[in-house]
Amino acid sequence: MVTMTAIELCELTKEYGRGGKAVRALDGLTVTVRPGTVTGFLGPNGAGKSTTMRIVLGLDRPTSGTALLDGRPYGARPEPLRRVGALLDAGAAHPGRTARDHLRVLASSNRIPDRRVAQVLEETGMAPAARRRVRTFSLGMRQRLGIAAALLGDPPVLLLDEPVNGLDPEGMVWLRGLVRRLADEGRTVLVSSHLMGEVARIADRVVVLGAGRLLADAALEDFLREHGDPAEPDSLEAAYLRLTAGATRHRTKKEV
């Protein structure tokens, strides 16, 4: 059993640039992402999902506010891959390395035993491609390698940014099973996606951002009940569009 580790975001604000050109990517975001749960992380393009994940990982610094794991910032911890596994950018592996070497380098710098490399290659269906160079991989294979890297340290927290991208139908079914199992083991699984059908299948809860602010944080069924379209009560897409369209109107009204 893994240690239960929530992600706690408190009044998180991030501005890129300065003065008149500043972009407020996050605007006072406060939310807790729970362990033992698959949380769908939703929001229109530019809503702040990737920025949030980057801040949790310590890849970006918030302008103000805090992002804590187990009460401490992620960067303050040794051996980061054992704390959080992340799929942020499927192009992140060095193109000249083989899949196996890419994972071996990550494992050794995080004091992860080498046998985990073979395990995650097997688990992600990448074992047959282990000795091939990353530059020869399809998008789906890169995604699988990124997921393998996220799983390497057996972490209690997983951040998966658009993990379904490029996966074939078999891969999508596999990913559903994987995120379910990870959450059932007590892990915190945050999955961003624009594919509402997929999110409806895998998520227990949804956190929805709009223009850097929290629009909703609810169990999937409560979200559907509260925001759903009566004509399509089971459609997450319809509920999501109603909520985010409302937010856009609200913003427009305020700006006028």
Ligand X SMILES: Nc1ncnc2c1ncn2[C@@H]1O[C@H](COP(=O)(O)OP(=O)(O)OP(=O)(O)O)[C@@H](O)[C@H]1O
Interface residues with ligand X (CB under 6 A) are 16, 23, 25, 43, 45-51
Least distance in Å: CB of 207 to ligand X?
A: 12
Closer CB to ligand X, residue 61 or residue 225?
61
Find the shortest distance in angstroms from Cβ 190 to ligand X: 12
| Residue with smaller CB distance to ligand X, 25 or 206 | 25
What span, in angstroms and rounded, lies between the C-alpha atoms of 69 and 67? 7
The Cα 220–Cα 200 span in angstroms is: 8
Q: What is the DSSP string of 17-43?
A: S-GGG-EEEEEEEEEEEPTTEEEEEE-
Cβ distance to ligand X smaller for residue 16 or 226: 16
Exposure of 186 in the CB half-sphere (CA atoms within 13 A): 8
Residue number with CB closer to ligand X (52 or 188) = 52
Report the relative pairing of strands 188-192 and 157-161 from DSSP bridges: parallel
Angle between helical axes of 115-123 and 139-151 (0-180°, round to 10): 130
Work out how close the CB of 161 gets to ligand X at its nearest, in angstroms, rounded to a whole number: 7
Nearer to ligand X, 12 or 175 (CB): 12
Tally of CA atoms within 13 A in the half-sphere of 26 that contains its CB: 28
Q: Whole-number minimum distance, CB 92 to ligand X, in Å? A: 15
Closest separation in Å from C-beta 232 to ligand X: 23
Nearest to 190 by CA among 179, 198, 201: 179
Work out how close the CB of 17 gets to ligand X at its nearest, in angstroms, rounded to a whole number.
6
Distances (CA, A) of 135 to 37, 68, 128: 34, 35, 16
In the complex with ligand X, the residue whose CB is nearer, 45 or 256, is 45
CB 93 within 8 A of CB 35: no
